[in-house]
Amino acid sequence: MNPQYNKPEDSILPDDFDGVFKFTNHTDEDFTAKWNKVEYTFPANKTSPMIMNFTPVEIQAIRKKFARELATREFYKTAKFKKMNEHVPGGTPSTYTDADLTEFIQKCLSPLPIVNAKTKVVKTRDLEDVNSRDEDGELLTSVIDQKKSLIKEGSTILKD
């Protein structure tokens, strides 16, 4: 158990909990995160209710994922991150720990004025359109049934 995040008091809901989990974007720019092919845009300096068609446990996990993404984005803007990477221009950036992100993650849980997040269903392409095609537009590979064995059928998958 990570004592930093899973403290006993975290399992107790606040007295003013109204049954809706909320996400706070404490930054000066909108934050967009994606879950299950849907983009959620959280307005800057606002708190948005997370009304989603998932269980409360799933919403908490999604909320933590979004908080970590926002925390990472904001950490990359800090002087500390810039100082950590002064020695590697164009190289691999230095690593950071959860402790570096904690301050930013906690801000996502602090309430600000409440507004609704904007959502947008992300268009996806059929698997056939994602596969490689030849110069005539014909598929180079064929989609196989999930129940077929790739080992047994592997030699017949590629077109001649």
70 or 9, which is more confident:
70
138 or 58, which is more confident:
58
Name the β-bridge partners of 114: 47
Task: Report d(CA 103, CA 100) in Å as an integer.
Answer: 7
Residue 159: name the closest of 140, 136, 135, 134 by CA: 140
> Which pLDDT band, with edges at 50, 70 and 90, does 139 fall under?
low
Residue 37, pLDDT > 80, answer yes
The β-bridge relationship of strands 38-42 and 118-121 is: antiparallel
> Which pLDDT band, with edges at 50, 70 and 90, does 85 fall under?
confident
> Which pLDDT band, with edges at 50, 70 and 90, does 2 fall under?
very low
For the entire predicted model, the pTM comes to 0.58
Query: Half-sphere exposure (CA, 13 Å, Cβ side) for 35?
Result: 19
Residue 26, pLDDT > 70, answer yes
Query: Half-sphere exposure (CA, 13 Å, Cβ side) for 13?
Result: 11
- Give kind and range of the element (H or E) at residue 57: helix 56-75
